[in-house]
Amino acid sequence: MVRDPVKAAFGDDEDLYDVADWDARSALDRLSVGIYGGLRASFHVLLIVLALVLFVVQLSFAALLVADQPRLGVLALASAVPALLLVWFVWYRDPTRSEPLSAMAITFVLSILFASFAAVINGLGQAVFGAIPVVGMLLFFFLVVGPIEETVKWLAIRVYAYKDDAFNTVVDGAVYGAVAGLGFAFIENAIYVIQGFTNAAQAGGVQQLQVAAMTATGRALVGPGHVLYSAFAGYYLGLAKFNPDDWGPIVVKGLLIAALIHATYNSLVTYLPRILPVWNLLVLLAFVAVFDGVVGYALYRKIVRYQDYYDRADAAERTEAARAATED
Q: What is the dihedral of CA 247, 250, 256, 259, to 10 degrees?
A: -70
69: left (phi over 0), alpha (psi -120 to 50) or beta: beta
Q: Provide the pLDDT for residue 2.
A: 61
One-letter amino acid at 90 equals V
Helical (H) or strand (E) element with 305: helix 281-327
Q: Regarding predicted confidence, which is higher, 53 or 143?
A: 143
Q: Provide the pLDDT for residue 240.
A: 95
Contact between residue 116 and residue 51 where contact means Cβ atoms under 8 Å apart = yes
Alpha-carbon gap, residue 279 to 273, rounded angstroms: 6
Alpha-carbon gap, residue 58 to 85, rounded angstroms: 28
Confidence of residue 156 (pLDDT cuts 50, 70, 90): very high
Contact between residue 75 and residue 212 where contact means Cβ atoms under 8 Å apart = yes
Alpha-carbon gap, residue 2 to 144, rounded angstroms: 37
Number of domains in the chain: 1
Residue 18 lies in a domain: no
Residue 3 lies in a domain: no
Alpha-carbon gap, residue 195 to 57, rounded angstroms: 16
Contact between residue 180 and residue 111 where contact means Cβ atoms under 8 Å apart = yes
> Which range of residues forms the domain containing residue 141?
58-313
Helical (H) or strand (E) element with 221: none
Residue 128 lies in a domain: yes
pLDDT tens digits for 250-268?
999 999 999 999 999 999 9
Residue 51 lies in a domain: no
Mapped to the 3 state alphabet, what secondary structure does 238-299 carry? HHHHCCHHHHHHHHHHHHHHHHHHHHHHHHHHHHHHHHCCCCCHHHHHHHHHHHHHHHHHHH
Q: Provide the pLDDT for residue 211.
A: 76
pLDDT tens digits for 273-324?
988 889 888 898 899 999 999 999 999 999 999 999 988 888 888 888 778 7
Q: Provide the pLDDT for residue 302.
A: 93
Alpha-carbon gap, residue 102 to 99, rounded angstroms: 8
% of the chain beyond a pLDDT of 90: 42
From residue 220, how far is each of 67, 281, 320 by CA, in Å? Answer: 22, 12, 48
Residue 325 lies in a domain: no
Indicate the pTM of the whole model: 0.83
End-to-end CA, the chain: 42
Contact between residue 69 and residue 197 where contact means Cβ atoms under 8 Å apart = yes
Mapped to the 3 state alphabet, what secondary structure does 236-254 carry? HHHHHHCCHHHHHHHHHHH
How long, in residues, is the chain? Answer: 328
Alpha carbon 30 to chain centroid, angstroms: 36
Residue 167 lies in a domain: yes
What letter does residue 222 receive in the DSSP assignment?
T
pLDDT tens digits for 75-113?
777 777 888 888 988 888 887 777 888 899 899 989 989
Confidence of residue 53 (pLDDT cuts 50, 70, 90): confident
Q: What is the dihedral of CA 138, 271, 187, 212, to 10 degrees?
A: 150
Residue 119 lies in a domain: yes
Q: Provide the pLDDT for residue 219.
A: 79
Instruction: List all residues 6 or more positions away from 277 whose beta carbon is below 8 Å from its beta carbon.
Output: none
Q: Provide the pLDDT for residue 296.
A: 95
From residue 50, how far is each of 27, 42, 59, 113 by CA, in Å? Answer: 33, 12, 14, 9
1 pLDDT higher than 60: no
Residue 9 lies in a domain: no
- Burial of residue 290 (CB within 10 Å: 0-12, 13-18, 19+) is exposed
Query: Which three-class secondary structure state does DSSP give residue 161?
Result: helix
